[in-house]
Amino acid sequence: MAVSVDTVYQRVLAILNKEQRGYLTPEEYNLFANQAQMDIFEQYFYDINQFDRIHGNSTEYSDMIDLLNKKIGIFEKTANLGNYDTDHYNLPSDMYRLGSVIYSNAEAERISQKEWLYINSSPIAQPTNTFPVYTRNEDGIQVRGAATITDNNAITCNYIKVPSKVIWNYTTVLGNAQYTATGSVNFELHNSEETELVIKILALAGLLVQDVGMYQVASAEETKDIQQQKA
């Protein structure tokens, strides 16, 4: 499912060389590749919000919400939150968005700190182990059932992880960079995003070499793709 980091680089270089637009070093490519991957990844969530307002297509292979969920599904993970740390559970270091929080096979409801003050003062509204709640701050989450949960390895969560950092690794042979699979990391995006990655990296390369034409061509191609997807 992954997109080859080398295939994208070779396509970018081929277009730049054909148009005599200059050369993109491996270091520059790695920088732009990661920027392009994050741009595409983050756009998924904005697109889901937009398409969710529109009635879905009944055709299985053209429903945009279904397609976007499949692309995001690549990044879905489940993790045990491990040991209780002073007053909270630490969240996974590679987390982008938190999904459900589970305690004792029950999904905890997220509430704000303000809501917890009201709930805590009402005997009727107290959480239970069957209906737990959790609050979140910059340190992590605190889960409450019949009491504050402090058991190690008691909490699991589902979440969307951040895409792994892209690396085009190489060795230098006669002054030229030669691709090596050892140490390289492919794009984690769905393989249908290969063309979009090339377009985005070319747009960034156009800014680097101060070629307005290349940037405009790449941007126009990206705009056309977006319009087709949202038509």
As a whole number of angstroms, the distance between CA 132 and CA 119 comes to: 12
Ramachandran region, residue 188 (left: φ > 0; alpha: ψ -120 to 50; beta: rest): alpha
Locate the domains of the chain by residue range: 5-74+166-230, 77-161
- Give the pLDDT means over successive 10-residue stretches in the chain (231 positions): 93 81 87 96 90 57 78 96 96 97 96 93 91 95 96 97 97 94 97 94 78 54 49 46
pTM of the model: 0.82
The predicted structure's pLDDT at residue 229: 47
The predicted structure's pLDDT at residue 22: 66
Provide the token pair at 194. 């290969």
- For the purposes of burial, counting CB atoms within 10 Å of the CB of 96, is it exposed (0-12), middle (13-18) or buried (19 or more)? middle
As a whole number of angstroms, the distance between CA 144 and CA 152 comes to: 14
